[in-house]
């Protein structure tokens, strides 16, 4: 009887551990969900902090005009971006291992640059965005920034 009781307790313990592991696994966001949540913060500035919370402290960001090597540096840029970006519309998203690629349109309040198309590649590890590389046509943006410097 004692042996049956011990076997029952062991079996119940294993079942409980497996059930908890499955619940934890099912509540974790997928890489695509992480990227979507990150980008949605630029659609609603009330959610931007949730977006920034998805970045690793050593997050690396690169686009044709800038290369940043920390979350802290990106936050400064995000405030500037947030001042002119009026929305991001995801067109397509694809995933390969720890890389997620997004093809999107981003809208801005800058005259002549209201609609822009870009693609951004995100590398995700342990539920955090470690790096991203944004690719878009910067010809008109460079002119805009040159005017700001004058």
Question: In the β-sheet with 55-63, what is the strand arrangement from edge to edge?
Answer: 66-68, 55-63, 128-136, 115-125, 99-108, 85-96
Q: What whole-number distance in Å separates Cα of residue 9 and Cα of residue 34?
A: 38
User: How many CB atoms neighbour CB 10 within 10 A?
Assistant: 10
Find the largest Cα–Cα distance for the chain: 88
Q: Which domains does the chain have, with CATH numbers?
A: 29-149 (3.10.450.50)
Give me the tens of pLDDT residue by residue for the chain, a chain 150 residues long: 666 665 556 655 665 565 555 444 446 999 999 999 999 998 988 888 999 999 999 999 999 999 999 999 999 988 888 888 899 999 999 999 999 999 999 999 999 999 999 999 999 999 999 999 999 999 988 887 787 677
pTM (2 d.p.): 0.78
Is residue 35 within 8 Å of residue 93, measured between CB atoms? yes
pLDDT at site 26: 45
Structure tokens at 91: 């067109």
| N residues, the chain | 150
pLDDT at site 132: 98
pLDDT at site 75: 93
CA–centroid distance for 89 within its chain:
14
Q: What whole-number distance in Å separates Cα of residue 68 and Cα of residue 58?
A: 10
């Amino acid at each position: 009887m004692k042996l049956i009781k011990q076997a029952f307790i062991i079996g119940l313990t294993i079942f409980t551990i497996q059930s908890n592991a499955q619940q934890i696994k099912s509540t974790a966001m997928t890489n695509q969900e992480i990227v979507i949540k990150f980008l949605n913060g630029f659609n609603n500035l009330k959610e931007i902090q949730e977006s920034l919370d998805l970045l690793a402290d050593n997050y690396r960001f690169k686009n044709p005009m800038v290369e940043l090597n920390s979350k802290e540096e990106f936050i400064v840029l995000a405030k500037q971006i947030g001042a002119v970006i009026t929305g991001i519309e995801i067109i397509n998203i694809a995933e390969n291992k720890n890389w997620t690629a997004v093809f999107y349109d981003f809208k801005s309040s800058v005259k002549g640059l209201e609609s822009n198309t870009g693609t951004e590649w995100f590398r995700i590890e342990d539920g955090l965005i470690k790096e991203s590389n944004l690719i878009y046509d910067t010809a008109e943006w460079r002119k805009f920034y040159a005017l700001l410097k004058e």
